[in-house]
Structure 1
């Protein structure tokens, strides 16, 4: 029997799976395919950390590790839904919920004192930020808009805000002292085990990391962000924002870059609220406020602020540049919670809205977009400049920018968490090999953020292969985004130039460009209706695969994301989860889930195609082709979740997908037995369309109980997400 693994994750994607997965399992068993689940939700990952503290019936295996092991095998076929990349506030929330359910797990201490507290904190850090993706991504990324989605966007274009030539919106980034400026890079000539050591000016040494295995051909970088340079940059930009009359808006990736970015976020908060923090330092220290968790941490520590502190906060708001708002009605600013404004979601949304963000009066306003590290800022800078010069993009005429991303084996920045450190004092940090030879050494100051970043040779070789493969299959212009003056990119380019020689690329349009030029050319070409494959490192993969899809098709959740695993299997990712929390809030309040499972529909097609190819499973190919047709019909008939209560939601879209899928299987001529079976399914669904719709719609506009937010109750959620008995009876009896 063939096998597909479906991940249980968090929030809206998890809720949707309760409705959609029974449909998938019912259809695929006809092709002798078993669709199994593995729970990699945040709650499950936390529970798996502390088996010794739990009752026997509460203990669970480390499903993420098991899935990671599977990803290294040629039989891997994994459909991975969006999961929570936990911030500290989210981690604390899941701990509290689990404790309330009787799980005797320990508290998370931000300032551990005892050895036990330090050990507990160390365990918890393994579930913070991008804990899932590096484990599963044993291959590089191939991400693009499927033709059905692209065609739909051209026929039914999403709204785009007006761009004015007078717009003051712009990107602000550091010109010195950031990670890019301080980067040193080297390619290893032999296998070794490196040690990272801090040496203070007094000569005392602290071993930061005892053993970091490095491989021959691996690119190894050391870099740091200067605290002094960062604080000066933020202070200058804050004044400039006020002078220009634009919103001050910080854009970080504090969820994925779980060590470095929260520290940077904290500095921005401390610069903005400096007067309040300095004046009330003693009180804030007593409350143990950690501004790396955002200014909202102050409110979390004390629900009702003393009148004097509240008054001083209001004075800050009155005297400083206006800050962009997340929720102006509740007074929640861009600086409240690090996970509220994630750059790869917030920047494309602002560009779609004409370069504006919301101000305190709930109005859109021109904005200064603060992106401290200059490695990635040109992507957004060039896009904004193009829109100011040429106006809003037109989805009806736009080309496309798919991406081939270097992410295998925890490549680059997203794998740097265990080797990222806040510098304890003035001194230097050294990286030495097993023989004591210096690989990198840098002079640093107290508060600087230092990190070691790596990418393995086999990952780069596979990345080049995937890029050439996409260029050959598409015939489109293909651009490697590599700066000529960034040390890491210089090392990568040597390898790219070498590995391109392994292929006949004489008839292909493959070019290597600096990030700034590549971003400019890509936005110019997309505006002209031309297609351009971007071949990028890991962070730009993340940013590109949100920016361009959101501009092209309205959302990155509608992208087809394939990770051809280096061992031979496949990982199929289903879109972005940035809006997932808001959807769950609406489900709880109104029993209405607006989450669109289109990403799951799209990912299931290549997953089934892999089964067909590897296992010579003809029925899997029939199901894949039929699902492709069903998805296109779903889009054409506008049966995706709507925006208003009383209309079709996630569950209704699953019904129509199932009906169209059954219809397409019934109409195929390769397998008469399968056609006959699904003709009956289609007949039962079509004849009961009105009844099923009524059953699905009738449950809306009432609160529901999921039995928990992070760890919900299976029976509760199943009842909520499968409310149509008529529909369930048809599906469960296939």
Structure 2
């Protein structure tokens, strides 16, 4: 029997799975397709790392490692839902919850001093941040808005904030002494094993990375952030925001860039509260309070300190003395600097641009904003978007074109694979990357506190990326633009490889260009205003940024994108969209038994998964399931059955009912397989006849708090009871497999 693996992840997507997966599994069974699941949630990943701390009954297998192996096989067919890319505060919260549930996992050691503590820290370092995606992504990314979603967005355009030509919103970035400016890059002539060493100014040698295997043709980069220059830059921008009367906001990626960006975030916190850290910094550090964890963690910890009240007063004074901070939640006083994972650049910057260049201030009003993005590698794309909107006004979702993406991400390509090669430098000296013969390939002079990193991009993924770009350009007729800057060391090497590999493909009649990211963004927006599509062909980080920026402008959300990863060995990985709002959805469910999570991304991924299975196995019924699901999703959109915004309407569970209804109806109408149509006839009739009763059962539970038994690891029985409250619907779906 053919198998589709449906991942159990975290928060709202996980809860939605309890409602949707029984429907999917029942329908798939009629085509001889088994839908199995693997738990790759943050909680499961933590438990898998510490089997010796658990009882035999509590131990879980390493599902992520298992799926990583599967992703390298031709049989792979994996539907991957959004998961938590855990920041340190999230990781600590998950650990505390598991401990409260009786799992004796160790605490997270902030400053490991023993071998055991260092081993625990190393284990947790493999869990935090973007631990999932690099393991599963054994292919490059093809991400685009499905035609049905694009049509719906044009017919029902979302609200866009008005842009004024006088808007003072802008991006501030370093432009020098940062990762972009300091980057150096080499291409490996042969397979080898590299070593990364810090040579201290006093001659001491500290091996930072003992064994770094590389392959012939692989691109290896190294760079660093000069933190003295960073601190000067941040102080200047804080003063500028104050002088200009705009909100101050910092935009980083503390989840995916799980080593470097929390440190950068900590520098922002210290720069905003210089008097606080001047007077109380040593006391806070001695108590294990790190600015890297954000202002929220600091305020939560100060009650146990002797000078707690004075520290709170210093925080209040810092807020009063500085510029107004952009807010995550004005009503609750949660600022841009409270939690490193609250302001994620690829979600926060598009939302600001969609909102007319404004963010929410502490007074509960929207205001122009100084968006601080320290590293200049990609900051220019957001300035280009701001400049475009300030000149031409807000984009119109009813008429604008699309910007699909082909993203280089296979085998942990580029910066997102740098976590195990990123270091906060302890002493002045020189970092050297040497080959096995002792030759120095890359070298940087560094100072204490500088953030140094190396990353790798293998040649096979680059070749596959170029091929995929040509394939999508040929399939769509749209121009394909490689977003690469010859002034950046890594990009210059990639430009050479792109020019080498493009002639391997038939590009006749295709428009394929190479442009620096800011210029490519400006071109894409110009074309979008004319209703024209432009394929963005980007590296890994820009893949992440672009597949939020343009969908948020086009569709109002990035959760409605089709994300296909053709795995390099023939399998398929199908991703279901972004999960940035998932925690807020869970909070609403706990309070009101109402889940606003939109599973549209899951519907698209399922259709693509069934189609891939049909293509690779010859399963005709799987193709029918794919085709009918696609048509059902179109009906779902036309009839506006996504979750409503308030209690009393259908939520995520109701949207699943309507998908089941429309899918069953489409299956009865298809003529390719009369036996399959007959198998769904009774179900379609039952769901249609019982629509009013089912909706009433789903709505009746709304308005009261619910208990899930946990946020990071909910109790399965409780979660299923909450997410499948309609006995009528459950009986109808379950009857399909009896």
Whether the TM-score (by the shorter chain) exceeds 0.5 is: yes
Indicate the SS of the match to 2:113.
Answer: coil
For the residue of structure 2 that corresponds to 1:56, the secondary structure is coil
1:685 aligns with 2:687: yes
Match of 1:555 in 2: 557
| Aligned mate of 1:676, from 678, 703, 717 | 678
Deviation per CA, 1:120-160: give whole Å up to 9, x if none: 11111000100000000000000000000000000000000
Secondary structure of 1:318's partner?
Answer: helix
SS at match of 2:3: strand
Asked if the contact 2:302–2:311 (Cα under 8 Å) also holds between the matched residues in 1, the reply is no
Deviation, structure 1 residue 503: 1.1
Report the secondary structure of 1:546's partner residue.
helix
For 1:654 and 1:203, the matched residues in 2 are separated by: 65
The correspondence of residues 324-343 of structure 1 with structure 2, limited to 5 A, is 324-343=326-345
Per-residue CA deviation, residues 515-534 of structure 1 (Å, 9 max, x unaligned), is: 12101101111111110000
Give the structure-2-normalised TM-score: 0.99
* Matched position secondary structure for 2:179: coil
**How big is each residue's C-alpha offset from its partner over 1:297-334, in whole Å with a ceiling of 9 and x where there is no partner?**
21221348833222222221121111101111221110
**1:154 lines up with 2:157 in the alignment:** no
1:591-630 correspondence runs (5 A):
591-630=593-632
Does the 8 Å contact 2:654/2:698 carry over to 1? yes
Provide the rounded CA distance (Å) in 2 between the counterparts of 1:354 and 1:241.
Answer: 18
Distance (Å, rounded) in 1 between the aligned partners of 2:389 and 2:209: 46
In structure 1, the partner of 2:709 is 707
Residue aligning to 2:414: 412
Q: Cα offset for 1:680?
A: 1.2
1:456 corresponding residue in structure 2: 458
1:235 corresponds to: 235
Residue 109 of structure 1 pairs with residue 87 of structure 2? no
Matching of residue 220 in structure 1 with residue 220 in structure 2:
yes
**Unpaired runs of at least 5, structure 2:** none
Q: In the TM superposition, what is the alpha-carbon distance from 1:277 to its structure 2 partner?
A: 1.3
Q: Which residue of 2 aligns with 1:528?
A: 530
Which residue number corresponds to residue 639 of structure 1? 641
List gaps (5 residues or longer) in structure 1: none
Distance in 2, Cα, partners of 1:649 & 1:494 = 50
Q: What per-residue deviation string (whole Å, max 9, x for no partner) do you get for residues 336-365 of structure 1?
A: 110000001111111111000000111000
Partner SS state of residue 269, structure 1: helix
Conserved in 1, the CA contact under 8 Å of 2:299 and 2:312? no
Counterpart CA distance in 2 for 1:409 and 1:725 is 45
DSSP 3-state at the match of 2:586: helix
Query: Match for residue 135 of structure 1?
Result: 135
Q: Distance in 2 between matches of 1:120 and 1:311?
A: 36
User: Which residue among 654, 665, 668 is the counterpart of 1:666?
Assistant: 668
2:724 maps to 1:722: yes
Instruction: Judge which range, 313-322 or 706-715, deviates more.
Output: 313-322
Aligned residue number for residue 21 of structure 1: 21
| Structure 1 residue matching 2:461: 3-state secondary structure | helix
Q: Secondary structure at the residue paired with 2:126? A: helix
Q: Which residue does the alignment assign to 2:55?
A: 55
SS at match of 1:563: strand
- The residue number in structure 2 matching 1:144 is 144
- 2:406–2:538 contact (8 Å) kept in structure 1: yes
Deviation for aligned residue 1:707: 1.1
Instruction: Tell me how far 1:170 sits from its aligned partner.
Output: 0.4
**Alignment match, 2:262:** 262
State the partner residue of 2:508: 506
CA deviation string 1:260-301 (max 9, x = no partner): 000000000000011011122343234221011111121221
Rounded to whole Å, the distance in 2 between the matches of 1:177 and 1:286 is 31
Tell me the residue number matched to 1:487: 489
Rounded Cα–Cα distance in structure 1 between residues aligned with 2:658 and 2:177: 54
Structure 2 Cα separation of the partners of residues 223 and 264 of structure 1: 15
For 1:309 and 1:582, the matched residues in 2 are separated by 30
| Count of residues in Structure 1 that have an aligned counterpart in Structure 2 | 734
Please give the alpha-carbon distance, in whole angstroms, between the structure 2 residues aligned to 1:317 and 1:100. Answer: 35
- In the alignment, the residues of structure 2 paired with residue 484 and residue 440 of structure 1 have an alpha-carbon distance, to the nearest angstrom, of 19
1:386 to 368, 385, 388: 388
Q: CA deviation at 1:477?
A: 1.0
Secondary structure of the residue aligned to 2:180 is coil
CA distance in 1, matches of 2:300, 2:500: 54
Between the aligned partners of 2:342 and 2:196, the Cα distance in structure 1 is: 33
Task: Say which SS state the counterpart of residue 158 (structure 2) adopts.
Answer: coil
In structure 1, what is the equivalent of residue 126 of structure 2? 126
Matches within 5 A, 1:235-254: 235-254=235-254
Note the C-alpha offset of 1:440: 0.7
Aligned residue in 2 for 1:12: 12
1:455, distance to aligned residue in structure 2 (A): 0.1
The answer to whether the 8 Å contact 2:302/2:308 transfers is no
